[in-house]
Amino acid sequence: MTETLAYIKESLKDLYPPSEISSLVRLIMERVSNIQPHHFLFCKDKVLPEAEKNRIHEIVERLKEMEPIQYILGTADFYSLQFEVNPSVLIPRPETEELVEQVIIDNEGKKIKILDIGTGSGCIAVTLRKHLKQASIIATDISTEALDTARRNAKRNNATITFIQTDILNPEKAEMDIPFILDVIVSNPPYIKEEEKIDMERNVLDYEPHIALFVPDNDPLLYYWHIAHFGKKKLRRNGRLYFEINAAYGSMVVEMLEEEGYKDIELIQDLSGKDRIVKARK
């Protein structure tokens, strides 16, 4: 096994920082050979089967093309749960775990109806269903492929969720497709401007779905504005709105929500100190 570990590190040393290589090594050995990091020393003389060596070689070759390890392995961890991921959905991020945490803290024990707009892999909806036992969860997306993935993730994690295909940018359609009065709307919508592509890493730009990432340069609040308008019609009085946001537009989102009549608006920083979450009350 020592030889295999050296092969992975040597193959990736010019492409990834040392800390990321260490994480990749741990993931590969766990998923392919079922060897936990704390067993590496005890297994250093272990001879890996040819099938495992071949699978590791395939993974390394794809990593050299900057393909995300989560897509290669087909799964990603989120809030202590495991989700199927593929190029039709974004890879769940730690910042989104912080968004989910806010929703859980504010609504624990309540019998409420929650809508997740732009569900993607379903990581937000499924996690909320697992932790808010009294809540009923509806999840929407415009993408058929994303909804198929989200349904599989709900089944994988034994979570009962109502899935609806709709387009939040088409208000009349969205209002018809989602015939519910809601207590909470949560969304991690597209929020990266097209002009920001120049600074993005290849593993995101080349592999993750652009429909879930980008907004027009001249309309960075496109989705937030439409969701806020939808919320004014569908949220109960004092219902809550939760957004993950582009760190550059926190004050703009707050100002827009104020203009739309929302109250108790909070701008919350993530663990890196960046503006990342906005929550408000109707």
- Binding-site residue numbers for substrate are 188-191
DSSP state of 46: P
Q: How is residue 282 written in tokens?
A: 């109707």
Q: Which helix (H) or strand (E) holds 106?
A: helix 94-107
Closest by CA to 272, choosing from 93, 121, 122, is: 93
What would you report as the CA-atom Rg of the chain, rounded to the nearest whole angstrom? 21
Count Cα neighbours of 159 within 13 Å in the Cβ-side half-sphere. 31
Greatest alpha-carbon span in the chain: 66
Cα–Cα distance for residue pair 106/103, rounded to 1 Å: 5
Beta strands 275-281 and 263-269 are antiparallel
Question: Are 66 and 24 in contact, with CB atoms under 8 Å apart?
Answer: no
In the annotated binding site, the residues are: 118-122, 141, 188-191
In the annotated binding site for S-adenosyl-L-methionine, the residues are: 118-122, 141, 188
